[in-house]
Amino acid sequence: MRNRPRTNRRRFRFPTAILLTCAALGVAGGILLAPANWVSTLLYAGLPFVSVGIAGLWLLPSVIALRLLRRPLVGLLVGLLAGLVIVPFSGYGFSSVATNLWWAAFTELPFLFVLWRYWGTWLHYLGAAIVGVLYPILAWQSFDLGSFDLGVQIAFFTITLASCLGGTALGILIADRLRTAGVGARLPR
C-alpha cells in the first residue's frame, strides 16, 4: 500500500461541510425552481417566448455553489439535489432531475476545461453564454422557431442569452454576499 503512486484524489473529495452546504443550496434551489417550473410551463403554453425569459433561474443554484465553494462537481451536485427536490412538485417527475443536471452541466463545463484550477468570474459567464446560445438551437423544433421571422428568432436568442447571463450575475452576487457574511469561509479546500 505504501508504494502505490499518489494520485490527486483530494480535489474530488467532498468533506461533510461541503456536502451539507451543497444540500442547503440544492434544497433552496429546488424551492426556487419548483414554482419557476410551473410558471415556465404555463408561459410555454400561452407565451412561449416569454418562458425563456426565466431560463437563467435554472443556472442559479449551480452558479452559487461553484462561486461559493470553488470545488469540482459541486455545480452538478447542487443541480442534482435541486432536481430531486422538484420531483414531487413537478408535472414532469424524474425528468426534472435530468433537466436540472443539463443546465448545471453548463455551469460546470468551463471549469472542467481548466481542470478546476482557475475560478475566474468570466468562466461563469462563458458557461451562461454557451447555454444561452445552445438552448434555442436545441429547442428550435419545440418552439417551432423556423416558422417565425428572422427578427423574432433573434429576439428569442437574445432573451435566452440575457436570461442566462442575468441568472449567472445574480448567482455570483448571491455567492459573494454569502461569502461576505461568512458562509463557506471556513470550508476545507
Instruction: Check residue 118 and report its DSSP letter.
Output: -
Q: Whose grid coordinates read 418552439?
A: 143
The reported pLDDT for the residue numbered 90 is 86
Instruction: Check residue 148 and report its DSSP letter.
Output: S
CA-wise closest residue to 112 among 121, 102, 123:
123
The CA-CA-CA angle for residues 112, 113, 119, to 5°, reads 70
The reported pLDDT for the residue numbered 119 is 94
Mean per-residue pLDDT pooled into runs of 10, the chain (189 residues): 52 81 96 92 82 94 96 96 94 91 97 94 97 95 89 93 97 95 72
